[in-house]
A and B are shown apart, each in its own frame.
Chain A
Amino acid sequence: MPVGTQGTIKGLTTDQLEDIGCQIILGNTYHLELRPGSQLIDDLGGLHKFMNWKRALLTDSGGFQMVSLLHLADITEEGVTFQSPVDGKPMLLTPEESIHIQNNIGADIIMALDDVVKTTITGPRIEEAMYRTLRWIDRCIAAHKKPDVQNLFGIVQGGLDPVLRDICVKGLVERNLPGYAIGGLAGGEDKDSFWRVVAQCTAGLPENKPRYVMGVGYPLDIVVCSALGADMYDCVYPTRTARFGTALVPEGVLKLKQNAMATDERPIDPTCSCMVCKKYTRAYLHCLVTKDAMGSQLLSYHNLSFMMRLSRDLHMSILEGRFPEFVRGFLRVQFPKGDVPQWVRNAMEVAGIDISECCASTKCLTPSIDEQPPLPIPVEANGGVPN
């Protein structure tokens, strides 16, 4: 899901999003409530109508801002107080208020307000946040005025602690929600912990409901999480990195600002059939990116096309029964020397995907578990994990 924080994907029109195959985009409750205001959006018929997006919308709860704007936040059982960066006035976001705002905005999927903490934090705060998230989901459910048209997803919290995560998963599943998100990740934790939490959650969440890993991410992360059973993702990465002149390609990234690009007459990605790759050379884009609005637009267009193509490829390969083959092909192109990171190898083993032919040797090229500083909480996923 591309992120359209303020009711628009930066630099793209709605018909372009349709052209590249985008089915659902994310809007941010915190920003939209600030400007133009959820009441105005409701008065004008909801966000779909306001931005003229005929496909699906998802709004997050405003909870992530707690983490990213933490120096402004005061979190209590009641809710979260922000100091508005626009006018300095205090804004209280309670579960009820978040759902009310999201009801006004009218997205197809809405997210429960959760008490999210950084994964790099340790101690009792994580446990407090997890239990509070469970108490808040009940308040969200109670406050939700449009359960027949808007799907309320719960968010699994619990840091990197499998015991806490397990309690949270079970607690949310009991509430029988239309879908579940795995939250509190994509915040700087090490990758080996990251995938284990995803794996644990997908194992515990119902098979027949969508699983949404919030804030993920890089193409590699999406492939790994999909192998582990996740279905939905959101990230600002494709569009943000475009504005810095970085293009997404099967091999990884292409930094168009580099001097070598000034004379490179190839398209960004010869295998890509998007409008940008059909019309423009790296050399021309090199002189546009980071300097002209058109550069941001064109690169965002390509990057999102790339992500949509990745989603379609993942989807089709699963439908056609050749998912492991797809994964192997993907990894071979990203890691032509076979230097697939250890965390990916570990995750694929748990996912049951054989990628041995993509890996140069069995010796891992990232620091081993022994060399890492000890994790604050012992990490063990369910279902047998190699050491």
Chain B
Amino acid sequence: MRFAVTKVCGGGGKARVGALHIGGGGGIAIETPALLLSTRKGLPSFVSCDHLASLPLPDSLLLHVCPTHFMEGPPLKTISNIGGLHHMLGLPDHILVAAAGDSIESLPSSEATNKFGASFDTPSGRRLVKPSDYMELVSCMKPNLWASLADEVPAWVTDKRNKISVDRTLRWLDACIALDADSGTNGFGVIVGGSSVEQRRLCATEVSKRNVSGFWIGGFGLGENIEERCSLLNAVTDCLPPEKPRLVSRLGLPEEVLEGVAAGIDLFDSTYIYQLTMGGFALIFPIDMVEREIQNGTFNNDGGDSTKINLRASTYRKDTSRLVDSCNCFTCQNHTRAYLNHLLNVHEMLAQILLEIHNTHHYLHFFRSIREAIKVGKFDLFRQQFVKKRRANITAAVL
């Protein structure tokens, strides 16, 4: 794996565009900031491989996989025999990034975590994962990138527990590196520290000293104060060397992504798309309108743009328009809001399939817009406009 920052947003900002090269020789180059698509046992929840292939490329090649999803899955030997995760999932060209926890099926249960391993709540019960177990899974699966095993704790734990989580995370990082068959070419070190700026800085500094290819910032999205998150995030990125990629977990909302980008984050792993899909929501916020406005230097104050619509609402019963007129995804090219409303009403699986396709497509384009804004040096304006429009809409809705 190679990573290089290709452009930093001017004016003292930390937002940057980078290129992540995976695979030897003329491998794939992914532009960052980028989104990792969330998966269930390695595949998207609803988007099958043929539809995955028609999502924006190369953006949609980046997938977040949880080794812990496979603890009830095929035995390690079978996974090895099949040739690793890429072969087992039928995704030879994709970039699989492995990390132990996610927000759906592998939730960190810090109260059960102990000195031997990290505990996760999974559909098949609570599982304790030791660094050795974890690295065994990683070596069989052969993902492109992997994060070390970490002790992520929610924001309300005691200072003592928080400190323990930092110590453990560092110890386990060292253990994972020692067990790494490929000796550190694709391992990301996880940074925790809860809501303590001091612990965050300490952890970040320590992880930077190790032989890691990048940084995985964990422990957010677990109950911390939204306001303090910004300062915590920036405290961490300030301690990290700029030339290595930074990934943050569980920051998924558009504003959170923008906040992360502003703090110098390159990769985002979140289940936002999944949550939207399960709720029957489709993203509709106009991405390029903001872009166009930046180019024109104007701000259109029509105040009426929503971010998402809830297709379950009866207003869509007879709405034969597409989710988003200008969208090129399979769902928008083929189906109407009325049909989606019907599918949700009668609890048909096709609803989630179509929504996940559209939401993924739309959100990946949002990330493209972010990159474009940074490249033309207008990221701060882009961010301001976006947040302003969202707030204007909410205010308008209230009034």
Complex contacts, A280 vs chain B, CB 8 Å? 88, 90
Indicate if the CB atoms of B81 and A296 lie closer than 8 Å. no
A329 within 8 A of B: no
With the chains together, A284 CA to B65 CA distance in Å?
A: 15
Partner pick for A13 among B74, B342, B350, CB 8 A cutoff: B350
Q: What 0/1 readout, one digit per residue, does chain A (289-301) give for beta carbons within 8 Å of chain B?
A: 0011110111001
Indicate if the CB atoms of A16 and B318 lie closer than 8 Å. no
B141 within 8 A of A: no
With the chains together, A6 CA to B339 CA distance in Å?
A: 11
A177 within 8 A of B: no
With the chains together, A265 CA to B74 CA distance in Å?
A: 10
Q: What 0/1 readout, one digit per residue, does chain A (26-39) give for beta carbons within 8 Å of chain B?
A: 00000100011000
Among A43-51, A95-103, A357-365, the stretch in contact with B? A43-51
A287 within 8 A of B: yes
Indicate if the CB atoms of B89 and A284 lie closer than 8 Å. yes
A309 within 8 A of B: no
Indicate if the CB atoms of A11 and B349 lie closer than 8 Å. yes
Partner pick for A52 among B48, B73, B335, CB 8 A cutoff: B335
Indicate if the CB atoms of B81 and A265 lie closer than 8 Å. yes
B46 within 8 A of A: yes
Indicate if the CB atoms of A11 and B353 lie closer than 8 Å. yes
User: How far apart are A53's CB and chain B's nearest CB, in angstroms?
Assistant: 10
Q: Number of residues in B with C-beta < 8 Å to the partner?
A: 43
Indicate if the CB atoms of B82 and A6 lie closer than 8 Å. no
User: How far apart are A25's CB and chain B's nearest CB, in angstroms?
Assistant: 13
A91 within 8 A of B: no
B334 within 8 A of A: yes
B346 within 8 A of A: yes
With the chains together, A265 CA to B84 CA distance in Å?
A: 12
User: How far apart are A279's CB and chain B's nearest CB, in angstroms?
Assistant: 3
Indicate if the CB atoms of A43 and B318 lie closer than 8 Å. yes
B50 within 8 A of A: yes
Of all chain A residues, the one with the shortest Cβ separation from B44 is: A294
Partner pick for B49 among A11, A12, A265, A275, CB 8 A cutoff: A275
Complex contacts, B45 vs chain A, CB 8 Å? 292-294
User: How far apart are B197's CB and chain A's nearest CB, in angstroms?
Assistant: 40
Complex contacts, A291 vs chain B, CB 8 Å? 123
Q: Number of contacts between A and B (CB, 8 Å)?
A: 115
Question: A11-B350, A36-B317, A293-B352 are known contacts. Are A281 and B48 too (CB-CB below 8 A)?
Answer: no
Indicate if the CB atoms of A287 and B48 lie closer than 8 Å. no
Complex contacts, A275 vs chain B, CB 8 Å? 48-50
Question: A35-B346, A36-B345 are known contacts. Are A263 and B75 too (CB-CB below 8 A)?
Answer: yes
Complex contacts, A50 vs chain B, CB 8 Å? 336, 338-339, 342
Complex contacts, A10 vs chain B, CB 8 Å? 348-350
By secondary structure, the A interface counts as: helix
Indicate if the CB atoms of B348 and A8 lie closer than 8 Å. yes
User: How far apart are A349's CB and chain B's nearest CB, in angstroms?
Assistant: 44
B363 within 8 A of A: no
Question: A44-B320, A283-B78, A293-B349 are known contacts. Are A13 and B330 too (CB-CB below 8 A)?
Answer: yes
User: How far apart are A176's CB and chain B's nearest CB, in angstroms?
Assistant: 37
Indicate if the CB atoms of B78 and A265 lie closer than 8 Å. yes
Of all chain B residues, the one with the shortest Cβ separation from A263 is: B78
Complex contacts, B349 vs chain A, CB 8 Å? 10-11, 293, 296-297
With the chains together, A10 CA to B346 CA distance in Å?
A: 11
User: How far apart are B83's CB and chain A's nearest CB, in angstroms?
Assistant: 10
A235 within 8 A of B: no
Of all chain B residues, the one with the shortest Cβ separation from A16 is: B50
A78 within 8 A of B: no
User: How far apart are A59's CB and chain B's nearest CB, in angstroms?
Assistant: 16
B302 within 8 A of A: no
Q: Which A1-21 residues have a C-beta within 8 angstroms of B?
A: 6-16, 19
Complex contacts, B366 vs chain A, CB 8 Å? none
Q: What 0/1 readout, one digit per residue, does chain A (268-282) give for beta carbons within 8 Å of chain B?
A: 000000010011110
Question: A36-B345, A263-B78 are known contacts. Are A293 and B46 too (CB-CB below 8 A)?
Answer: yes
Of all chain A residues, the one with the shortest Cβ separation from B43 is: A294
Indicate if the CB atoms of B330 and A281 lie closer than 8 Å. no
Q: Give the interface residue-count category, chain A.
A: 35 or more
Indicate if the CB atoms of B40 and A292 lie closer than 8 Å. yes
Indicate if the CB atoms of B348 and A284 lie closer than 8 Å. no
User: How far apart are B328's CB and chain A's nearest CB, in angstroms?
Assistant: 15
Of all chain B residues, the one with the shortest Cβ separation from A7 is: B342
Indicate if the CB atoms of A52 and B41 lie closer than 8 Å. no
Partner pick for A297 among B48, B78, B354, CB 8 A cutoff: B48
Of all chain B residues, the one with the shortest Cβ separation from A264 is: B78
A164 within 8 A of B: no
Complex contacts, B74 vs chain A, CB 8 Å? 262-263, 283-284, 286-287
Of all chain A residues, the one with the shortest Cβ separation from B72 is: A287
With the chains together, A308 CA to B46 CA distance in Å?
A: 23
B51 within 8 A of A: yes
Q: What 0/1 readout, one digit per residue, does chain B (344-388) give for beta carbons within 8 Å of chain A?
A: 011011101110000000000000000000000000000000000
Q: Which B52-66 residues have a C-beta within 8 angstroms of A?
A: none
Complex contacts, B339 vs chain A, CB 8 Å? 7, 50-52
With the chains together, A262 CA to B317 CA distance in Å?
A: 44
B394 within 8 A of A: no
Partner pick for B82 among A7, A40, A52, A283, CB 8 A cutoff: A283
With the chains together, A364 CA to B19 CA distance in Å?
A: 71
Indicate if the CB atoms of A40 and B318 lie closer than 8 Å. yes
Complex contacts, B90 vs chain A, CB 8 Å? 278-280
Partner pick for A265 among B46, B50, B82, B342, CB 8 A cutoff: B82
Complex contacts, A67 vs chain B, CB 8 Å? none
With the chains together, A279 CA to B52 CA distance in Å?
A: 14
Most buried by A among B70, B81, B90: B90
Complex contacts, B140 vs chain A, CB 8 Å? none
Complex contacts, B164 vs chain A, CB 8 Å? none
With the chains together, A16 CA to B317 CA distance in Å?
A: 25
Of all chain B residues, the one with the shortest Cβ separation from A52 is: B334
With the chains together, A16 CA to B52 CA distance in Å?
A: 13
Indicate if the CB atoms of A279 and B81 lie closer than 8 Å. no
With the chains together, A9 CA to B343 CA distance in Å?
A: 11
With the chains together, A40 CA to B342 CA distance in Å?
A: 11
Indicate if the CB atoms of B318 and A294 lie closer than 8 Å. no
Complex contacts, B82 vs chain A, CB 8 Å? 265, 281, 283-284
Q: A9-B350, A11-B353, A16-B50 are in contact. List 4 more A-B contacts (CB 8 A).
A: A13-B353, A50-B338, A50-B342, A294-B43
Q: List 16 A-B contacts (CB under 8 A).
A: A8-B343, A35-B346, A36-B342, A40-B317, A44-B336, A44-B338, A52-B335, A263-B74, A265-B78, A283-B78, A284-B89, A287-B41, A287-B74, A294-B40, A294-B46, A297-B46
| Chain A residues engaging chain B, CB cutoff 8 angstroms | 6-16, 19, 31, 35-36, 40, 43-44, 50-52, 262-263, 265, 275, 278-281, 283-284, 286-288, 291-294, 296-298, 301
Closest 9 CB pairs of A and B: A279-B90, A287-B73, A283-B74, A8-B350, A11-B349, A36-B342, A6-B346, A263-B78, A283-B78
| Chain B residues engaging chain A, CB cutoff 8 angstroms | 40-41, 43-46, 48-51, 70, 72-75, 77-78, 81-82, 88-90, 123, 317-318, 320, 330, 334-336, 338-339, 341-343, 345-346, 348-350, 352-354
